Structure 1
């Protein structure tokens, strides 16, 4: 009998060529068993009930005309009507009987699978696989059902029928109608695989790109304890891991970010071993990541191999969505599903739409109602509509903000009508996040207490344009939308770099024309991602004795860490690594922390370690801190973080920079301290730059050039100190101007000296971002690089292109 006529096939007899017969999921599993298992990827064995069997089942029970009649009467815009009639169709299918021959075939394969594993009633996962799903250009992900821990012949046959019936859930009918698919041109196959005992281990999802920005050089891995259904359902916030592909391929420990999820619940087998039940995860387990670093790297390596294989098959880059499971008995990892990613990979990269909240930081704090995980990068306003179930769909109006505890595929017809989505639970790979991305709707997931805080009819603004955190503001908050056509951004000869404030925006910024990062400020990472004074972590015993309230807050922030110092190094290294990875292999200049004493005092525990200074702007800051016995240990943590980024993660494009270095002697002291902590200038090609922001840096440029590899002009402080004014004082604000002749003289002088000395010289201050004419002045003087705020990219490049044209630079 030809394969195309068979009812049942072993997975190992299936490849991607058989999508029409076994659907996307099963074709992918067969492909991996056939090809990728030889590359060390574990895939559980199993068999497939083909789409032929589904159509024969439909015709054997005379269901085709009955189903067509019901579908013809459905108003898909009427959610209640859609749900009711979808239920009628599913009942017709579940009540059908298998042809006798087909039933014998299914059971004979099930028995053979049991013999392989020495089990009479082998426990299996029964997964639906529609023949039009999981193609590179269309996603039917999550539209059909999966049943776990199915044991015994009658249970298996019932699960297969339920999978057949799931082709006609409300969300599947609505989805096919939306994309114009003929309901009987789509068949359904059912995959039956040996269950991986992840109920005793862990499971999750991997993507071979960043799901929010489409940045292709990372693998995103999410994971929870127990079976994987809760991660898609959004029942729990998972652990998250980001692995950088280019340095992973070189053999580095390329984990560039780790986030501990709450993992409060897990799905496990019932006591009688039939079906599943939700259980509570003990607190000690929640404090730990569900995967070791070695397991994360192994999964990332597998995802790379899968992506490479599929990209070769399709003849273009094909990012992948991969489900994994860890067997709690054997400790082995398995891939249980793989399909092409279909949202970010289809985006038009020739244009960039930028949403921006038009509020001051103070106004944001006043209006902030909720915070969660951002999905997408858009902003939307609308009236709140809280729903406890998709059965209440009739009360939901087009353009409202959907607020729910969690969503599942039954919610999709409602989600299509929403201006934005807010859920109390879920992470970046939960159902609500996946559908929101596909619909292009902003969503904030994991926004705890949303149902309590928000009221029906209340106007709110949902913002996903401010990094990885999503915010819900009271009222219709003003925001701007700007579309940038990348083809209209002119080419320039002078390298234009970015000043990057936050790691969360780095992947998105990497798509814009750039030559790397001229200034990545550590203090932004410390303030926004750590929030604790480093000495309060180093001397935590002292804090516990002196300030129990602060100690409790620190414990809460460092949840999951036995040693609070590790929290500081981890968060700082991950923040730096994310920026470095976004622009790799282009240079990324990371400036060591440049907080003033009053700013350090605002961090948790900071008041116990910081002096009170009359003028912190001119006091204990920058280089003078790093070699001081009062701060040296804290600076050492910064050095350890940089060393980890460069040497463990392989991001050797990081250049470090010393701020506010008053004398060459200070510079030498800082270099000595860096060396104590394993950061030696020149070792592993490490370059060390110095900020040129004090007149002494210009006057003694020859001496500074002997100990540093380059200069970066900080026009903010250089203006302040050249003109002798406090740039924080509104009383003299009118005098503060980087375009003053005295400031320009200082800038021109150091550029000229650096050129003669063979040292690199760039600028990272605010001036070229604010004043295109200042950028023109810099180009005239022959500056090596200009680093600007990203929002000034278009006007700065236009100004630079124009002056280059006038100067006829080659």
Structure 2
């Protein structure tokens, strides 16, 4: 080929502008070595073959004409995709290496071995297409990677196989769909020193939340051994989430979520004939986290460094060497799904009625789909797929892409958020449930199911066709208001879904929801674990807390992490966390709870809220709640968290609770800690002036306040017509407490559904001068509009009044 000069180039001499020369993957590796090494980001050394080397290979073997003809026959319908791909790959594999190219690869390999002080260094051989890793086309997994390649002959063989992989069925069909000319895309091969992650661990990392596009978190997946299992979805990895804005403070550890995956297998080095192989992990490996907190933070800081340098959200692969324990970045490319979403408009799905839960897994996307199952367990049988059905399988790889495009949703037994099934589903805009464990055993072809990814991190598959609705939220429709409009949030797994809403913070985060869903254990059962008499509950608790020598630390960690997810969503805006407000019958339903709860005739007005916190029956449990808040604020760094006390009946009770909190390291006013109180009992209104001396603010709980003002059980069907938050007696209570709070200089808001359902109620609150209104996310835009209209009406009325004043 005329002008052919350099068959290979060392990675450290490459920049990201060299895509045409060495493809996206290799040019990015060179960019990081050159620019980010000085910032502590470690990238293994290596070299790459150039696009010139590829075209020289093609021309020396006269491949252009036969390849072009095979592609033309396929597009004309004269041959199948499978026949075309196989024929082209055979042409490539039977071709001979140009002597100069082979010699250059061998000489560079010898130099790399010398740098590593090895006779023949083990290398990773990766494909890097010149149309790969572009901001609008990921080409993820389209070409092959070969690991633990040792020796010159094996290296040349692996490089040729990379060339051939430019024409896998999936690569051909993807280029065709994206409009790329098959004969204008070259392939570079990256040859990189292997990181001994077969003895350590590896995984994938994103600098953005892959499901919601929330841009303040780093998501890290991790498994033992080489990373291919994570990418392929063959293993259920650990998942860690880190809050980026607090990473610069070395005194903080903002790891806001840690989930231990099953990790049942790991990929290790094999033989010359089979360079890698999978083996079962030990019981200890399955129950242990792959990364320490310090390693998680190191990777997260690298992710933010890489993201800042590239100026866009990034998708990265990392590895830890089992010999040296050093971490490395082995790939980095732009994230292509969330980065290209329209952030002004998004859809909110809500299930109205559903069948029983059949199986659960990790949610990919945020949609709901109903349809019929098409169960296919082997790629050989993908021809049996029925268009528009829900694909259920064990795991997917790039060979499955042609039918994934025709599916309504995807369900897999294995894989995490960075698995092939997850990545492709996002790119195709399909909801998917991965890592279910048993979907292929529980579901069957022809079965009608509903796939719901709209209820948080955990997705559910329901029996039958559920009734659900879709609401489109347009950020352009949100007016500005002086009155703060905040959100009521309870589910940490769903919190990130709402980050695009211009909310003024979280007005009510319900601690008890986190306890019942993420922890599931009564705190007193953890404090008194050794003396539990319920052996079944004790065994289940032991299983959930297996990684904790001190069972109570499990409660503190999980509660702090769950609340951190909510606190991070609108950081640094205020997030008001209400301490646990279970009723005794609800507490008794937690694991081990029945031994610690009295039986009450009317739990709604019984042993609940503030009365529990200083009682000997629950004081030690409340201490764990306080420890979790202390960790949340001081260790994780969420100083925007405000604590709120529910159902505080008297001023003396307020004093007792504040005293117990102080004993547990939460002293009002210290370290900017604010403490609010729920206003949900008439005594809170009557003695508002005195309560304001002990609390920084009030939050009106309109449901309980209505119930106790009118003497109506809010759950009674027979009295439903009498339960009215707009009753004049209730409105008098609300107006009065707002006046008293304002006079005392305390903040005051309302959390309840009434402003969502009744525009006139929102107007009433604005007229009273309330500081904030907290509502459910799905009603946020409607309330914002109601409040805006009320504020404008108030201003108009005030102007008319001013105009009527003489002189």
TM-score in terms of structure 1 length: 0.96
Find the counterpart in structure 1 of residue 266 from structure 2.
266
Partner residue of 2:24? 24
Cross-structure match for 1:296:
296
What is the aligned counterpart of 1:586 among 573, 581, 591?
573
C-alpha distance 355-21 of structure 1, shift in aligned 2 (>3 A) = same
Q: Which residue of structure 1 aligns with residue 12 of structure 2?
A: 12
Task: Answer yes or no: is the 8 Å Cα contact 2:456–2:495 preserved in 1.
Answer: no
SS of residue paired to 2:221:
strand
The 2-side partners of 1:320 and 1:4 are apart by: 33
**Corresponding residue for 1:81?**
80
Q: Once the two structures are superposed, what CA deviation does each residue of 1:225-254 show, in whole Å capped at 9, x if it has no partner?
A: 000000011111111111101111233211
Trace 1:238-637 onto structure 2 (pairs within 5 A).
Answer: 238-251=237-250, 252-270=252-270, 275-311=275-311, 318-359=312-353, 364=354, 366-543=355-532, 546-637=533-624
d(CA) in 2 for partners of 1:689, 1:116: 63
Deviates more, 1:719-728 or 1:321-330: 719-728
Offset of residue 434 of structure 1: 0.3
1:750-776 CA distance string (max 9 Å, x none): 000111111101111232233221111
What secondary structure does 1:706 align onto?
Answer: coil
CA–CA distance in structure 2, aligned partners of residues 206 and 616 of structure 1: 46
Contact 2:348–2:778 (CA under 8 A) maintained in structure 1: no
Closer, same or farther: CA 748–326 of 1 in aligned 2, 3 Å: same
What residue number does 1:315 align with? none
Deviation at 1:503, TM superposition (A): 1.2
Confirm or deny: 8 A CA contact 2:4 2:56 kept in the other structure: no
Cα 1:681/1:9, change in 2 over 3 Å: same
Cα offset for 1:561? 2.8
1:559, distance to aligned residue in structure 2 (A) = 3.9
1:35 and 2:24 matched: no
Deviates most, 156-165 or 385-394: 385-394
CA deviation map 1:681-717 (0-9, x unaligned): 1111000000011111111111111111011111111
Change (3 A) 1:74 1:397: farther
Q: Structure 1 residue 673 and structure 2 residue 660: aligned?
A: yes
The equivalent position to 1:714 in structure 2, one of 697, 701, 710, is 701
User: CA contact under 8 A between 2:231 and 2:420: conserved in structure 1?
Assistant: yes
Contact kept, 8 Å, 1:76 with 1:174, in 2: the verdict is no
How far the C-alpha of 1:564 sits from its partner, in A, is: 2.3
CA distances 1:461-501 after superposition (whole Å, capped 9, x unpaired): 11111111111122222221221221122222211001112
Which secondary structure does the structure 1 equivalent of 2:683 belong to?
helix
Superposed CA deviations along residues 308-367 of structure 1, whole A, max 9, x for unmatched, are: 1111xxxxxx001111000000010011111110100000011111122221xxxx4x42
* Alpha-carbon displacement from aligned partner over 1:649-674 (angstroms, at most 9, x marks no partner): 11111000000001111111111111
Aligned to 2:462, the other structure's residue is in SS state strand
CA distance in 2, matches of 1:433, 1:400: 18
Report SS of the residue matched to 2:89.
helix
CA distance in 1, matches of 2:83, 2:555: 54
Task: Measure the CA separation in 2 of the matches of 1:124 and 1:555.
Answer: 44
When residues 383 and 77 of structure 1 are mapped into structure 2, their CA distance, relative to the original with a 3 A threshold, is farther
Residue ranges of structure 1 left out of the alignment (5+ in a row) = 312-317
Contact 1:151–1:274 (CA<8 Å) still a contact in 2? no
Aligned length: 796
1:570, 1:788 → 2: CA distance? Answer: 28
Cα separation, partners in 2 of 1:3 and 1:205, compared to 1, 3 Å: farther
Which secondary structure does the structure 2 equivalent of 1:574 belong to? helix
Alpha-carbon distance, 1:555 to partner: 2.3
Distance in 2 (CA, whole Å) between partners of 1:326 and 1:790 is: 41
CA contact (8 A) 2:577 2:642 kept: yes
Indicate the residue corresponding to 2:90 in structure 1: 91
Structure 2 residue corresponding to 1:725, chosen from 712, 731, 751: 712
> 1:122, 1:199 → 2: CA distance?
15
Q: 1:684 pairs with 656, 661, 671, which one? A: 671
- C-alpha distance in structure 2 between counterparts of 1:114 and 1:451, whole Å: 46
2:720, 2:4 → 1: CA distance?
79
Measured after TM superposition, the shift of residue 77 of structure 1 is 9.9
CA-to-aligned-CA distance 1:398-423 (integer Å, 9 cap, x gap): 20111110000111111001010010
Equivalent of 1:702, from 678, 689, 705? 689
SS in 2 for 1:798: helix
8 Å Cα contact 2:700/2:751 also seen in 1 = yes
| 2:747 maps to 1:753 | no
SS at 1:635 equivalent: helix
State the SS of the aligned residue for 2:343. Answer: coil
Cα distance change, pair 726–76 in 1 and its aligned pair in 2 (3 A) = farther
Quote the residue 2:107 is aligned against: 108
Equivalent in 771, 774, 797 of residue 787 of structure 1: 774
User: Separation in 1 of the partners of 2:4 and 2:651?
Assistant: 78
Deviations 1:205-226 (A, max 9, x none): 1100100000000111110000
Measured after TM superposition, the shift of residue 25 of structure 1 is: 0.7
- What's the TM-score once normalised by structure 2's chain length? 0.97
| Kept in 1: contact 2:358–2:462 (CA 8 A) | yes
The 5 Å alignment of 1:634-653 reads 634-653=621-640
1:274 CA drift (Å): 6.0
- Alignment partner of 1:223: what SS? strand
Q: What's the CA shift for 1:4? A: 7.9
User: How much has 1:382 moved relative to structure 2?
Assistant: 2.0
- Preserved CA contact (<8 Å) 1:518 1:786: yes
| 1:766-798 alpha-carbon deviations (Å, 9 max, x no partner) | 322332211110000000001111121232222
Partner of 1:125: 124
Could you report, residue by residue, the CA deviation over 1:515-568 in whole angstroms, capped at 9, with x for unpaired residues?
11100000111111111111111111122xx11111122223234333322221
Give the 3-state SS of the residue equivalent to 1:62 in structure 2.
coil
Question: Does the 8 Å CA contact 2:449/2:465 hold for their aligned counterparts?
Answer: yes
Separation (CA, whole Å) in 2 of partners of 1:413 and 1:3: 39
C-alpha separation in 2, matches of 1:277 and 1:759: 65
Post-superposition CA distance 1:76-114 (Å, at most 9, x none):
999x93223212211111111101111111000000000
Distance, in Å, in 2 between the alignment partners of 1:171 and 1:194 is 28
Contact 2:762-2:787 at 8 Å conserved across structures: yes
Structure 2 partner of 1:137: 136
CA RMSD of aligned residues (A): 1.7
Could you tell me how far apart the structure 2 residues matched to 1:662 and 1:792 are?
Answer: 31
Q: CA deviation at 1:581?
A: 0.3
CA shift, 1:204, in A, is 0.6
